[in-house]
Amino acid sequence: MCGIVGYLGYRQAAEVCMEGLLRLEYRGYDSFGIATVSPEIAVFKETGKISAAKDAVHLKGTCGIGHTRWATHGVPSRTNAHPFTDCTGKIAVVHNGIIENYAALKRDLEKRGHTFVSETDTEVIPHLIEEKYTGNLREAVSKILPLLEGAYAILVIAEGTEEIVAARKGSPLVLGVGDREYVFASDGLPILDYTRKVIYLEDGDLAEVTPAGYTIYQGKKPVERKVATLEWDAADVRKGGFAHYMLKEMYEQPEVFSNTINSITENAAALCRIREARSVTVVACGTSANASTVFAYLMESVCGIPTRVVLASEFKYFPTPKNDVVIAVSQSGETADTISALKIAKERGAKTFCVTNVLGSSLTRIAETTLYTRAGPEVSVAATKSFTAQVAAFMEIVNIISGGMLKKAVAEIQRYLPEALDCDVESAVELVKDASTLLYVGRGLSYPISMEGALKMKEISYIHAEGYAAGELKHGPFALLSKETPVVAVCLPGSTYPVMMSNLKEIKARSAPEVVIGCVGDIDAEEIADVFIPLPKVSETAGVILASVVLQMLAYKTAVALGTDVDMPRNLAKSVTVE
């Protein structure tokens, strides 16, 4: 969703902002813009891809702000793109979030003679500042903040000044502190090229940055904020010779899996409250919810601790048992639905945890305990390595709580993940790529893996795909089966195998072509499958995780064959910051 960047230092701000916006592209956007001071305010706005407009930007100045917009109020257009200026064109603002009371503010401002050009909520901000500005930008911004209802991260610049004033409430904002230069951004990625020293601004913070330094205020009082170090490296956010970020990130999974296992092991002491819980509720969305479902299966079957997964957007409709442990799971740590669910859980008195990949993200400020996945930055909208990292975190949590019951499975995954990545999915791609509907099926742990496989396929190839517990097909979805409806099945030796084989036969009897991911040497599964993808002989628990990588590869290669925009699929945003 929207992303913001600001630069003050000795470089050309427009160039830094454009580079920064490219780093934020992954969040999803439809238009973008930048403004610089030199000493007048100059603004450039455009719709479409940033890379296409890069050479058209000729703004001068060493102080500037930039924005990628994901339309909420008003259609994607140049007019509705940020930055916005006041009536005089002397104040420019970029904003992430939603100003809920903008309509009333706008009516009042119009009555007082202000002219608006866009349909956005943001445009009220520069006009409000205009009314209070008498030469001290920080003071003017601090006076209008109490008028804004909703969520915001804003950056403000003014003609004739060399400063950026920033404020945050509910939307993320990071300040990079370099050597004679400062970079604001919605997350750490645009900052990495300049410094790794960052301050995660807190709700209610107002920051003033000038060439002389930075000061952070809460109300009128200056406050100290810890300077943290970004763990990620600038090289992590480059494609590094891969055709797509998604492919690069998939190949990082063996390392990510081990890094995350270590991260949880180092934090073993924090797990006692989960071990002692009467029940555990996990809240998450999308891929994170699928990884959480793997956790629920493992917690119930290995540790005997009742564990349920509730979609974060539905959590408010579920009462939390008293003293329950609630774990919010989110790669970004910024998903609005998940943040809101965790806040509700906290209000209800739950013991709160979060599992996230982003240091200093919003979830980490709400949860009492944070467990980090160590996936590194994930740029592709389709989550791959962050899913594997979440599964790694969950497996290690269960392993520690159970006194080592998953040790063997963890070791098998570490050993065989590279082999799974090298699987041959070409014939499977041929079988599925022209279908209009695909069904993914599995049982036990293979069920959440099937849901994740279907999610990957639909989001990047745009083929309709649904994941089902294999036993559910006969309760309705069988009606869809025909030779035009391929079924992708995860069928591995172990507790689910015999009945899974029966399900495969039932599907076959209804003419649906089958792609079966099974275990090498399984002649029965190979015989029934139209396309058989063999995995190394490992335990069922390890096998389903290896299968999830094969399903990622199947989705990736299908999307490439169909020519979709793999890393930035249509209509989607990486970080979903609205409920």
Q: Which residues bind ligand AGP (CB under 6 A)?
A: 285-288, 330-332, 335, 338, 381-383, 455, 459, 576
Cβ–Cβ < 8 Å for 162, 169: no
Helix (H/G/I), strand (E/B), else coil: 370: strand
Least distance from C-beta 319 to ligand AGP, angstroms? 23
Helix (H/G/I), strand (E/B), else coil: 441: strand
Strand order in the sheet with 31-37: 41-47, 31-37, 63-69, 3-8, 182-185, 174-177, 197-200, 228-229
Q: Determine which one of 106, 433, 557, 574 is catalytic.
A: 574
Least distance from C-beta 330 to ligand AGP, angstroms? 3
Least distance from C-beta 399 to ligand AGP, angstroms? 22
**Best CA proximity match to 551, nearest among 450, 409, 462, 459:** 450
**Best CA proximity match to 189, nearest among 59, 3, 390:** 3
- For CA atoms 182, 170, 331, 402, give the dihedral sign: positive
Return d(Cα 136, Cα 141) in angstroms, integer: 9
Least distance from C-beta 99 to ligand AGP, angstroms? 24
Q: Which is nearer to ligand AGP, 66 or 172 (CB)?
A: 172
Q: Which is nearer to ligand AGP, 31 or 332 (CB)?
A: 332
Measured from the Cβ of residue 436, the count of other Cβ atoms closer than 10 Å reads: 8
DSSP 151-195: EEEEEEEETT---EEEEEEBS--EEEE-SS-EEEESSSTTTTTT-
Return d(Cα 275, Cα 290) in angstroms, integer: 22
Q: Which is nearer to ligand AGP, 157 or 246 (CB)?
A: 246
Return d(Cα 203, Cα 205) in angstroms, integer: 6
Q: Determine which one of 2, 354, 423, 491 is catalytic.
A: 2
Least distance from C-beta 358 to ligand AGP, angstroms? 8
Q: Which tokens sit at 457?
A: 């396929």
**What residue has token string 């930039």?**
66
Return d(Cα 487, Cα 402) in angstroms, integer: 35
354 is known as an active-site residue: no
Question: Pairing mode, if any, of strands 164-169 and 205-210?
Answer: antiparallel
Q: Which is nearer to ligand AGP, 61 or 286 (CB)?
A: 286
Q: Which is nearer to ligand AGP, 280 or 381 (CB)?
A: 381
Q: What is the 3-state secondary structure (H, E, C) of 190-240?
A: CCCCCCCEEEECCCCEEEEEECCEEEEEECCEEECCCCEECCCCHHHHCCC
Least distance from C-beta 92 to ligand AGP, angstroms? 30
Q: Which is nearer to ligand AGP, 127 or 458 (CB)?
A: 458
2 is known as an active-site residue: yes
Q: Which tokens sit at 493?
A: 């030796």
For ligand AGP, which residue has the nearest CB? 286
Question: Pairing mode, if any, of strands 307-311 and 351-356?
Answer: unpaired
Cβ–Cβ < 8 Å for 498, 525: no
Length of the chain: 579
Q: Which is nearer to ligand AGP, 18 or 381 (CB)?
A: 381
Q: Which is nearer to ligand AGP, 42 or 329 (CB)?
A: 329
Least distance from C-beta 295 to ligand AGP, angstroms? 14
Least distance from C-beta 418 to ligand AGP, angstroms? 22
Least distance from C-beta 287 to ligand AGP, angstroms? 3
Residues catalogued as catalytic: 2, 574
